[in-house]
A and B are shown apart, each in its own frame.
Chain A
Amino acid sequence: MWAYDFMRNALMSGLIIASICAIVSVFIILRRSAFAAHALGHMSITGAAGAGLCGISAFSGQLYLNILAAIVIGIMSDKVKKNDLAVGVVLTFVLGLGVYFLFLFQNNYAGGVMSILFGNIFAVSHQQLKQLIGLASIILVTLGIVLRPLWFSSLDPIVARSKNIPLRSLSIIFLLIIAITVSMACQIVGALLVFVLLIIPGAIALQWGQSLGTIMLISFFSANCAVIGALVIAYYANLPASFCITMLLCGGYFIGVVKNYLQSI
């Protein structure tokens, strides 16, 4: 199956996106930013629909809109306490715009919107793969710079603030990382299922790991194993890849739930 160009592209793009999501998902859970990640996924639809107004690709449209929304949410949010209100206000505004864009372009851009909604890992082109590598490099370099204060401020924001860590700037940087990650992940699982890659690998890792290193490793392996497994199953069983990724990751999570239950009795 790896002889096919589209399968190799799918594997490469899947591994890149899974690796980034694995790291980001741990912080999304610890920083309780799940609603922001969920909202940015939904805003992707507006970005894809609005791309028609500017004559750009659906992917670029969702990327730019997500980045803009992340900055606005970051500025509106409180420094220490995560502010779901800011996310909710921006989400409803952007979704309202999305409805209008879909009304304007319902015939011309339905394909672009559908691809963002449901994703298609087998349709990733060489050009898109290069874009994904570029975006993944930006995220990795940024995380390499901010990881230490991000980790500290995620675990203990009040004390981190007392050490002069710039919480608002870190929060905006992290929202930008989520925005770019969401845009990447929509390529393979779609906006409707983007949550699975942004939450479940981290959730699995936090069920087993005690330290930053082990948590990151478990998250990395669960996300990448799920993507590889899903590609193989999707190819041979002719099933949607996003469905297979979701089932494998959720299965991994439920193993942890059972383990916790058995430990508690």
Chain B
Amino acid sequence: MIVCNDLVLGYNTPITPKFNLTIEDNQWIGIIGKNGVGKSTFLKTILGNLTPVSGSLTILNQVPGASNRQISYIPQEREINLSDYMSGISLIMSSYQGWKWGLPWHNSKLNQQVLELIDLVGASSYANQPFNTLSGGQKKRIYLAQALINQPRLLLLDEPLADLDPHAKQHFIQSLQKIQQSRELGVLIISHDMHEIAEHLDAFIHFTTSGVHFCQTIECVKEDSYVGI
């Protein structure tokens, strides 16, 4: 699904050393590393928003950016411009094939699909409420439903657990579990709370200043004390 050959990431100047990686289809991968070592840069490069400093990268057998409509991205920082009365459902609806030209016609099949997704992420009780009145944790589950509406093959999550209290984190992780059980898709998740979701992940990528390592268990990054395990 993702193949990196002698890849060096950065903003014109290198942030990471040269590395090689192969990530198979439908794997759930945790991305770990200290701030500034290139974790978010990796996701942005996958999306084609940044060009690699050197080396090559293919995603879903295509160059970065070419397969973005099969990838959903939940960024760490959002800029959501909903009015006070617009609900989470409006946000999800707007995202459905939002790249297509023309008018946004919505049919009953789409409505049903949205309701199923909202149920899957556990947001049924508040998805119709004004989005701006929701808590941080509730908004993140709406973002999750939004990310799934276009049935992606790959989901990129940048710090989805940041700023959540333990209760909200638990709810979000439960939503991720349900998605893992019901859908076939690959996931790359950056988190500083990796110990809380490690049991649901197939492997880990450890970004350090000295190298980028692929590990089958979280044990291999234990020495990085900030991981908290």
Contacts and interface: CB of A to CB of B under 8 A. Distances in A.
Interface of A: 29-32, 80-81, 144-149, 151-165, 206-212, 215, 260
A209 B146 contact: no
A200 B123 CA distance: 33
11 contacts: A31-B81, A32-B81, A148-B103, A149-B99, A154-B81, A162-B49, A164-B48, A165-B98, A206-B85, A210-B87, A212-B104
A163 B83 contact: no
B81 A155 contact: yes
Q: Which of A163, A164, A165, A260 has the most CB of B within 10 A?
A: A163
The 8 A-B residue pairs with the shortest CB-CB distance in the complex, in nearest-first order: A152-B98, A206-B83, A162-B73, A148-B104, A164-B68, A152-B94, A163-B99, A30-B81
Contacts of A156: 78-81, 91, 94-95, 146
B49 A151 contact: no
Instruction: Tell me whether chain B's interface is mostly helix, strand or loop, or mixed.
Output: loop
Interface string B108-144: 0000000000000000000000000000000000000
Contacts of B91: 155-156
B157 interface: no
Given A32-B81, A159-B73, A146 B101 contact: yes
A65 B219 CA distance: 64
A148 B74 CA distance: 20
A184 to B, nearest CB: 22
Contact of A164 (B82, B83, B99, B146): B99
Contacts of A157: 79, 81
Nearest to B67: A164
B51 interface: no
Contacts of B229: none
Interface string B59-98: 0000001001101111101111111111101110111011
A260 to B, nearest CB: 8
A159 B75 contact: yes
B100 interface: yes
Determine chain A's interface SS by DSSP, over half rule: helix
A155 B104 contact: no
Nearest to B98: A152
Contacts of A154: 81
B102 interface: yes
Contacts of B99: 148-149, 152, 160, 163-165
B102 A148 contact: yes
A210 B98 contact: no
Give the most central of B77, B98, B101, B146: most A CB within 10 Å. B98
A155 B87 CA distance: 12
Contacts of B47: 162
Nearest to B100: A148
A146 B101 CA distance: 6
A154 B83 CA distance: 11
A207 B68 contact: no
Nearest to A208: B85
A208 B84 CA distance: 9
Nearest to B44: A162
Interface in B214-228: none
A86 B185 CA distance: 42
Given A145-B101, A156-B95, A163-B99, 18 more contacts: A80-B79, A147-B102, A147-B104, A148-B98, A149-B98, A155-B94, A156-B78, A156-B80, A161-B49, A162-B47, A164-B65, A164-B99, A206-B86, A207-B83, A209-B85, A210-B90, A211-B90, A215-B83
A82 to B, nearest CB: 10
Interface string B29-40: 000000000000
Contacts of A210: 85-87, 90
A260 B83 CA distance: 13
